[in-house]
Every structure is written in structure tokens, then in C-alpha cells.
Amino acid sequence: MIEIRERFDVPASPERVWSILSDPEAVVGCVPGASIVGREEDGTLDTSVAVKFGPTRVTFRAKALLDLDEAARTGTISAQGKDSIGGTRMRSTARFGVTPGPGGQGSHVAIDGTVEVQGRLASLIEGGASVVVKKMAGDFAERLAARCSVP
């Protein structure tokens, strides 16, 4: 089990940050290598995520569901799926929340989550997966900040 814990400040209002985080298309757009390939009636998204473990690229197809609490500006994204070769399953949940930034300036974003990888790939990527996931979380934060700064 890989844990995600990201804390970062964004130079944009909480309303602006929340408008991105509550938009599935925008959230997926902030995940490197991810895209939405379909949408089901209950709101579940079919997503595709390409991840590079070392030089080896693996593409996951995952169903993702976004559960939002508008009033509290918190949400949960849960995703589960398998890779295109079919030997590996992944399951991930992440809670996120937006609060006013330090001194009332901008916003503060907190993300806490877990990623589980099971199956053939697990032994191949060993400890490296946690490094890859942490880097993805960092990239996500950067992309989110960049996106929020565009009015």
C-alpha cells in the first residue's frame, strides 16, 4: 500500500481552486498521463492512465467516481481498474479539501490517499512504485496550481 500525503498552497481563491477540483475533466487533466475515455450514467468515469515504472510504460484502465461535499469543499475520488495486459489491478482513494491559504491569501489544498497495486506488476516495481506515485502526486499539485492561476 502506497500512501499519498500532499499539502500545498495555490495563489488563487478557494472558490477558484474548488471549481477545478470539483470538475472531473479538470481533475483528470491534472493527472499526468491520464485521460477520460468514457462516462457512465451513474457518473462513473472510464479513465486511462499511463504510468512509467522505470523505462517500462504501463497503461491502466480505471473506473473513477468523484464524491463531493460542496459546502465543506471536500471530496473523495475513488478509482479501481486493471492494466491493459491484464496482470495487475490497482485501487486508489484520495480525499481532498480546500481551505483559505495562510494569512487569508490564496488557498491551501490537502490530499490524503492510498494506492494499492496487486498482481504481476507488484513484484516488478517493488519499492519504485511509491517513488513514482509520489512524483505523480507532486506533478498533480503543480498542474493544479498552474491551472488555477489561469483565470
Partner 1 sequence: MKVYEALANAFVKEGVTTIFGLMGNGNMYWWHTLDQRPDVAVHETRHEGTALTMAEGWARATGQPGICTVTQGPGLTQLGTSLTVAVRAKIPMVVFAGDTALSEHDSVQQLDQQKFVDATGAGFVPLWNAAGTDDAVRQAFYQARVESRPIVLNAPMDVQQQTYDGEGDEYAPSTTLLPGLQRVQPDPDRLRDALRVIAESRKPVVVAGLGAAKADSGEAVKKLADRIGALIATTLPMKGWLGDTEYHVGISGLYATKTAIELFAEADCVIGVGASLNHYTTEHGYIFPNARYVQIDLRPSIVMGNGKRADFYVQGDAKLSLEVIEQQLAQQGVSSTGYRTAEVRGMLAEYDPDPREFEIEAGTVDPRRAATILDDALPAEVGVIHGTGHCSGITNVFMKKTRALTWPINTFGCIGQAVPTAIGAAVALNGAPLAVMDGDAGTLMHISELDTAARLGIKLLIAVFNDEALGAEYQKFVSKGMETRASAIATPNLGKVAQALGCRGKLATTLDEVQAGVDEFLAGDGPMLLDIRVSRNVRSVAYSRLWFGEDV
Contact positions vs partner 1 (CB under 8 A): 52-59, 84-85, 87, 120-121, 123-132, 135
Could you give the CA distance from residue 118 to residue 108 in angstroms, rounded to a whole number?
33
CB 82 → partner 1: shortest distance, Å?
13
CB 52 → partner 1: shortest distance, Å?
6
Cβ contact 98:17 at 8 Å? yes
Could you give the CA distance from residue 124 to residue 28 in angstroms, rounded to a whole number?
26
Give whichever of 111 and 121 is closer to partner 1, judged by the CB atom: 121
Give whichever of 104 and 123 is closer to partner 1, judged by the CB atom: 123
Give whichever of 7 and 120 is closer to partner 1, judged by the CB atom: 120
Give whichever of 123 and 150 is closer to partner 1, judged by the CB atom: 123
CB 62 → partner 1: shortest distance, Å?
17
Torsion of CA 46, 29, 103, 74, to 10 degrees: -10
CB 125 → partner 1: shortest distance, Å?
7
Backbone angles phi, psi at 23, to 5 degrees: -105, 110
Could you give the CA distance from residue 19 to residue 147 in angstroms, rounded to a whole number?
11
